[in-house]
Amino acid sequence: MDIRVIANMLENVSGTQRPQQHGQGLSGNTAVSGRNFASCFNEALGKPKDDFQVSAHAQKRFYERSIMMDSALRSSLSTAFRELEEKGGKDSLVLTDRGAFIVNVPNRTVVTAMNLNELQNGTITNIDSVNMRKV
């Protein structure tokens, strides 16, 4: 007797259901309640969602370009990270009235900072999204 026939007979007797076949049901990358894996993971770790890092390179650029990281700018960048994360941004440009910031969204890191004068005659490459906001 074939093993599938035996499995069907056992299922009918016990009233239990077999596990779903491969390719049926939810896929492995389905977002829970519309949230992505990173936000669920950070929530499980207890890491604040509004937290982000500033790379050593960006810290140097903040100093050289006299860009002050105060609570208003921090809050604005946190909001930008959240919005970019929701839209699927990876390497993004955040434009504010205080400067421009290249950010890596998955790592929640400010990579570099530029003042507004540097944007007038420049080219920015390898970004997939732009977020504009007033601080």
DSSP 1-59: --HHHHHHHHHHHH---PPPPTT-S--TTPPBTTB-HHHHHHHHHT--TT--EE-HHHH
**In the chain, where are the structural domains located?**
49-132
User: Tens digit of pLDDT for each residue in 71-98?
Assistant: 999 999 999 999 999 999 999 999 999 9
What average pLDDT score do residues 7-13 get?
Answer: 60
Q: Please state the pTM of the whole predicted model.
A: 0.64
pLDDT of residue 47: 57
Give per-residue pLDDT as tens, 30-60: 544 566 676 666 666 665 566 899 999 999 9
Amino acid identity of 37? F
Specify the residue for token string 């007038």: 120
Please report, as a single letter, which amino acid is at residue 11: E
Provide the pairing of β-strand 129-132 with 100-104: unpaired
